[in-house]
Structure 1
Amino acid sequence: MQPYLQYIVLLGAVVIVGAFVMPRKKQEHSLPSQSMQNMETALEQFMENMEKDNEELVQLVRDAQQETKVDAERQEQRIAELERKCEQLAEQLQMARSATATITLQTASPQPLSIDAGKSEAAFAKLPEPVEEEAPRANTIHSRYAELFSLYEQGKSIEMISKKLGMNKGEVQLIIQLAKQEEAAHA
């Protein structure tokens, strides 16, 4: 009987050792589920942070779009204002030209003809010479914006001219355009 008893004791010892080992395996299995929960929690937090960041980016894009829209409206208003000023300047230029032409015609109008040929030649000699348009040209766009036209004739870009002179590009373009119109009118 003794060998059976040894087998039973040995079998009991194996069962006891197995019982101690089994809970350890369960703890080892519970550790991965714990780490899985930690990973899921971390992923959820990461996703929440990403959503917040995305919302902030969307808001920044909206703000940038709004600012761009406001800037575009301001630029459109500025362009409309410059076009109005251009029209006013063109009208003033036309009025100045017509006034100059009227003055020129008045000063160049002939004196009443007299019957005496000698007197008419003397009167013709006394007629003032036609007034050259030098007086209005003294106050031309070229003279008022000499530096601008100097840079333009050197081949500088409108953008560079506007930066150097502290003017808007639209103003530089407008001045150049008015100068071309003025030259065409005097040609």
Structure 2
Amino acid sequence: MSNWQYIVLLGAVVVVFGLLLPRRKQPAAAQAVNNMEVSLEQFMENMEQDNRELTALIVQSQEEARAKAQRSEARLADLERKYSALEQLLEQQKAAAVSMPIALVPPAMAASPAPPVPAALLEEPEELEEPAPSAKQTIQQRYPNLFELHQQGRSIEAIAKKMNMNKGEVQLILQLAKQEEGTRV
């Protein structure tokens, strides 16, 4: 055999080998593409489910906000009605006091208290958030657990986490307590 025959034979072997080699790798590439498609579909389904849950949560929070706003508006309207009724009652009492001369007021009437205010006007609204703390109560009395943790040497972050408060809120309470102690001294 001559050299050119060896070259042709070698070229034919390379071509056959080259044709067989990519055919083996094609199924692996197709499997990789298939796996990628399945992964993307699962990811898309998860994203859609998360999106639905988030949308439901947003709708629920909007409904709660609307309900709270309606309660607040109803409470405000009730308070305005009571305020106007009390203003009218005060105006009537002022008008009655101005129209009666002081000398003509009998002593029994002068010593008597003002007419009673209707009980419906004095009732507190049903939905009070929390009663206002008395002016005599100190900050340390309002937050005993917070100051106990602070005296134990806990950090502001640990106190905030334990008390379910913000760090800024804890810092503010501690600063107000220091100011309160300074004004008492």
Give the TM bin, normalised by the shorter chain: 0.3 to 0.5
TM-score by length of 2: 0.47
* Bigger CA radius of gyration: 1
Higher helix share: 1
